[in-house]
A and B are shown apart, each in its own frame.
Chain A
Amino acid sequence: QVQLQESGPGLVKPSQTLSLTCTVSGGSISGGTFYWSWIRQPAGKGLEWIGRIYPKGITNYNPSLRGRVTISIDTSENQFSLKVNSVTAADTAVYYCARELSTSFDSWGHGTLVTVSS
């Protein structure tokens, strides 16, 4: 059973960069036909897909966030990461990492709250 765990700072100052890492255990990040995504949920709002990375490093991003987001992968550490530049209060949310199989997300991390505040 694959497990995902997000890690990173819970507080980021406005205009700085939000950085999170997702560690995958119970399976290889480069095995199978999986994609690896970041999804977030601001308080009181719905889920928002941020972007995905394929094991070979190809990325797709939500058009509304493109330009501020970078997703990378480290297959040697079985991890993938998220960076969001120039954050504002609107980036405050619970951030989830998830595994995408076919077109659905079959495994999720527990989520980590990131607050943007000075």
Chain B
Amino acid sequence: QSVLTQPPSVSGAPGQRVTISCTGSRANIGAGYDVHWYQRLPGAAPRLLIKNNNDRPSGVPDRFSGSKSGTSASLAITGLQAEDEADYYCQSYDSGLSGWDVVFGGGTKLTVL
């Protein structure tokens, strides 16, 4: 059971907009920790997609955007393309025993119809 909750799957047709939610608690997202998003293409390592809630690293298309509010965060993908079919993970920190624990969501599989 992951600390951050994501829907197991989402889908959309090419050109459409999809969103993926990431729900946490007052111990992690709600405590003010930043949320980051990763894309894992089949057979590849995860790639940092969105950092610090809504910042795109160099090379990430502006079709990807992130937001955060309260104890939740969201990843939005507009103009869906076949190459976006992948697993997406959110990540934050948790004020657990050490106060520096990394927590991930369980992942969301995006299917492009």
Contacts and interface: CB of A to CB of B under 8 A. Distances in A.
B46 interface: yes
A63 B103 CA distance: 11
The secondary-structure label for the interface of chain A is strand
A62, A63, A105, most chain B CB atoms within 10 A: A105
Interface stretch (A42-50, A74-82, A84-92): A42-50
A108 B46 contact: yes
A39 B101 CA distance: 12
B29 to A, nearest CB: 12
B33 A103 contact: yes
Contact of B47 (A37, A48, A49, A108): A108
A47 B46 contact: yes
Interface string B47-85: 110011000010000000000000000000000000000
Contacts of B98: 60-61, 63
A63 B96 contact: yes
Contacts of B93: 103
B106 interface: yes
B6 to A, nearest CB: 8
Contacts of A105: 36, 38, 46, 48, 91
A36 to B, nearest CB: 13
Contacts of A47: 38, 46, 89, 91, 104, 107
A63 B101 contact: yes
A110 interface: yes
B102 interface: yes
A32 B46 CA distance: 22
A59 B34 CA distance: 21
Contact of B106 (A46, A61, A100): A46
A26 B46 CA distance: 19
7 contacts: A39-B102, A46-B2, A47-B104, A62-B102, A63-B97, A104-B91, A106-B57
